[in-house]
Amino acid sequence: AWTGEIKGRVMCDVCSDSSVGPEDHALEGAEVAVLCITQSGEVLNYQAFTDAKGIFTVAETMSESNRWDSCLARPISSFHEHCSIAGNAKAGRRFKYIHPSGYSHTVRPFLYRPATAPLYC
């Protein structure tokens, strides 16, 4: 059997500077969708929610001949009332899944921002 894993983070970009800095924090409970196409052409759709550290994980075990070929991860929503405007989170991240069994692919963080940035920004 073949096992694949996709991980990523969802963060609140407090100063809306499109980068993760010391003022930013993880968003717990944010929803992420991951769509993968297998080598046989089957489409698999996953839904994940972030934990207290803002990390989401999707994992699957399947036959080696039907493993993931390419995937698209995209944020669906942030349930954090003060940080729910999509920053770079508008677009999904497409990638080829080229890892052998047991390895993980990490997606760059998805960022949400507050409606107004704090004065210290």
Per-residue pLDDT at 80: 85
Domain-embedded: residue 63:
yes
Instruction: Provide the number of structural domains found in the chain.
Output: 1
Domain-embedded: residue 19:
yes
Greatest alpha-carbon span in the chain: 54
Give, for all 121 residues of the chain, the pLDDT tens digit.
999 999 999 999 999 998 889 999 999 999 999 999 999 999 999 999 999 999 999 999 999 889 999 999 999 999 888 899 988 656 789 999 999 999 999 999 999 999 888 899 9
Q: How far apart are CA 82 and CA 80, in angstroms?
A: 6
Domain-embedded: residue 58:
yes
* Structural domain containing residue 26: 2-112
Domain-embedded: residue 68:
yes
- pTM for this prediction: 0.90
**Closest to 110 in 3D by CA, of 80, 73, 82, 79:** 73
CA dihedral 20, 25, 30, 33 (to 10 degrees): 20
Q: How confident is the model over 13-26, as pLDDT tens digits? A: 999 998 889 999 99
CATH label of the domain that carries residue 61: 2.60.40.10
**Closest to 80 in 3D by CA, of 117, 120, 28, 41:** 28
Identify residue 89 by its one-letter amino acid code. Answer: A
Q: What are phi and psi of 84, to 5 degrees?
A: -130, 5
The number of beta carbons lying within 10 Å of the beta carbon of residue 9 is 21
Domain-embedded: residue 40:
yes
